[in-house]
Structure 1
Amino acid sequence: MNKSFFVLFFVGIFLSSCSSQKGTHFDDYVFRRKGERTKYLKAYNETLKLWKIPFSEENINTSYGTAHVILCGPKNATPLVLLHGMDASSTMWYPNIKALAKNHRVYAIDFLMEPGKSVSCGETISKEETVAWYNEIFRHYNLKKIKIVGASRGGWLATLLATQENHNISKMILLSPAQTLENLDKLHKASSALMFKLFPNKKKLKKTLDAFSFYPEKISSTYKNQFYLANKFAKTNTSFLQMQPFSKEDIENITIPVLILIGDHDIVNSQKSLDKGEELLPKGEVMTINNAGHFLTIDQHEIVNEIMVEFLE
């Protein structure tokens, strides 16, 4: 990454901390004010209506806060864990959940340090604590031989889990994993998301979605509203800075079957990421999805769903 990215990011952290100090006392490490969190959660629940399959929601007490998990699919089926992208929350799976839950028991987990329904008990957690947090959730549900799908930041988190000794992951799908195999490919284009995060408004939202999606018109207006409120109301935190590409040794030591998908118009990954994954992963498969950007699960959801289901089965 270049220096300007870090300068802008720390400016965002400074602005966020200043604005949060002006607010009323509210013990939440993601949202600044209680009313803003309430508005966001209302939008979250509206997006969940797009799932259109039966599901339940559970809050799990952990050493690092409350983990919010959305469960669906046959109760005795093979477990499938879904890890969402940055600021996207588990609701982002609305175009994919029906296909993924048909033959799997799905556990969609909201990440602690981002807008969602998980609630942290601290300002940030380390990589080691992140691994411990997910393992507490897995133990709570007694999950064995887990299949896992991670999108963007969720792809980095999934890879982090797969690099640990004695993990319980049997298969993994990485959907345009951010900062996992290579650094951001087109930083100048991705900067629209950073500016939107620092100074959120509807115009910058549109510019961000246009950059990250090949078909932004396919994104549900309900989900757009939730994503907008996530960036408008949530504080900036430094957890993103933990996301650095994994070493050659880390990738080579992932011996489970791994499928990597990126869109041909992705601004986060390039062909270099696919080439690296294909070269280093012992059981890696890579594929480019045509007419898709970083949001390939929406841009080409039918094709992506079919490929994911075939790989998972």
Structure 2
Amino acid sequence: MGDEMTFFAAYETVLRRWPVEVRSVDVPSPYGSTRVQICGPKDGVPLVLLPGGGVTSVAWFANVGSLARAHRVYAVDLMGDIGRSVHDGAPLHDADDLMAWLDTLFDELDLDGAHLCGHSYGAWMALTYALHAPHRLGRLALLDPANCFAGMSLRYLVRALPMLLKPTAERVRAFHRWETGRDPEDPAWQAFLDSTATTRRSKVIAMRRPKAQDLSACTVATLVLLAERSRAHDAQRVAAAARRLLPEASVTILSSASHHSIPTERPAELNHLLTQFLA
């Protein structure tokens, strides 16, 4: 209980750092309730944000100030992952269940026509949803997407293994420092990352790479922003594959970013490119 209280206290601390007024809602679904942080003008074009695995909706603290100027932002705690979404309904077996969960979220919040943006695991989920329900989306933005266009680095996966098998705050911090080359600039974000070590996920779905023929048929306007210093995969290889598989997509490599420093560290260029694309 103490570990859980520490985690939720750190979660709320980061959420209070958001530079905009936020309303938190719990959206029902057959899988359980989904926590969504809502901000921005009520008449703004809806923008749904799906975070990377293990970091929750609060991870967008460095981006919502820019994104919420023109958009009604819906930042989601992923079903099955840590956070304030409660997975107490139907089991999550595979990507089809995640897509059904997102369908319910879009239904309940009336999000048809929304733009969709995801990071890492959330980017894989966002791309999968764009292939599942392209008619429901405006535009699609993928931030250093994991296992979407090319495989992940074996070295990265091996390095992550001790943290996944027996997580501690020290192991989480060491892995983050190895991947990004530095500690986070925001101490509240560091404290949140530390607190995730003892928080359990109910079900994280394995990321199956989309088929080439499905990607080539994708009709959703897409932006792919890759981290040049990402250790999760080879950014140049992913960029080449994305350009080949999604020839209409805009693909950009951010020189100062790593996989885990998107979108929280030094976000000015990322925010500029995102808002420009979504406009």
TM-score by shorter chain over 0.5:
yes
Equivalence for 2:82? 115
Return closer, same or farther for 1:99/1:87 CA change in 2, 3 Å cut-off. same
Match of 2:212 among 241, 248, 258: 248
Equivalence for 2:177? 210
Given residue 67 of structure 1, which amino acid in structure 2 is its aligned partner?
Answer: T
TM-score, structure 2 normalization: 0.93
Matched-pair contact (CA < 8 Å) for 1:214–1:292: no
Question: What CA distance in whole angstroms lies between the structure 1 residues aligned with 2:254 and 2:247?
Answer: 22
Match of 2:123 among 148, 151, 155: 155
1:180-195 equivalences under 5 Å are 180-184=148-152, 186-195=153-162
Structure with greater helix share of residues: 1
Shift in Å, 1:260: 0.6
Equivalence for 2:249? 284
1:219-298 equivalences under 5 Å are 220-235=186-201, 237=203, 239-241=204-206, 243-270=207-234, 271-294=236-259, 295-298=261-264
Give identity over the alignment, percent: 24
Matched-pair contact (CA < 8 Å) for 1:150–1:157: yes
Question: What CA distance in whole angstroms lies between the structure 1 residues aligned with 2:265 and 2:15?
Answer: 19
Shift in Å, 1:187: 2.2
TM-score, structure 1 normalization: 0.83
Gaps of at least 5 residues in structure 1 are 1-33
Return closer, same or farther for 1:240/1:144 CA change in 2, 3 Å cut-off. closer
Q: Secondary structure at the match of 1:244?
A: coil
Q: Does 1:102 align with 2:66?
A: no
Question: What CA distance in whole angstroms lies between the structure 2 residues aligned with 1:69 and 1:277?
Answer: 30
Question: What CA distance in whole angstroms lies between the structure 1 residues aligned with 2:64 and 2:45?
Answer: 15
Indicate the RMSD between aligned Cα atoms, in angstroms.
1.7
Shift in Å, 1:262: 1.0
Matched-pair contact (CA < 8 Å) for 2:27–2:105: yes
Moved over 4 A (4+): none
Listed one character per residue, the Cα deviations across residues 269-295 of structure 1 (whole Å, up to 9, x for unaligned) are 321211111112142010110121102
Question: What CA distance in whole angstroms lies between the structure 2 residues aligned with 1:95 and 1:86?
Answer: 17
Shift in Å, 1:35: 4.3
Number of equivalent positions: 276
Q: Secondary structure at the match of 2:145?
A: coil
Match of 1:305 among 258, 271, 275: 271
Q: Secondary structure at the match of 1:254?
A: coil
Q: Does 1:43 align with 2:10?
A: yes
Equivalence for 2:108? 140
Gaps of at least 5 residues in structure 2 are none
Matched-pair contact (CA < 8 Å) for 1:155–1:175: yes
Listed one character per residue, the Cα deviations across residues 36-88 of structure 1 (whole Å, up to 9, x for unaligned) are 33332111101101212101000011111001100000001100000000101
Given residue 163 of structure 1, which amino acid in structure 2 is its aligned partner?
Answer: L
Shift in Å, 1:120: 0.4
Matched-pair contact (CA < 8 Å) for 1:80–1:107: yes
Listed one character per residue, the Cα deviations across residues 133-177 of structure 1 (whole Å, up to 9, x for unaligned) are 111111111112110110000000001101114541111110001
Listed one character per residue, the Cα deviations across residues 7-41 of structure 1 (whole Å, up to 9, x for unaligned) are xxxxxxxxxxxxxxxxxxxxxxxxxxx44333321
Shift in Å, 1:217: 3.8
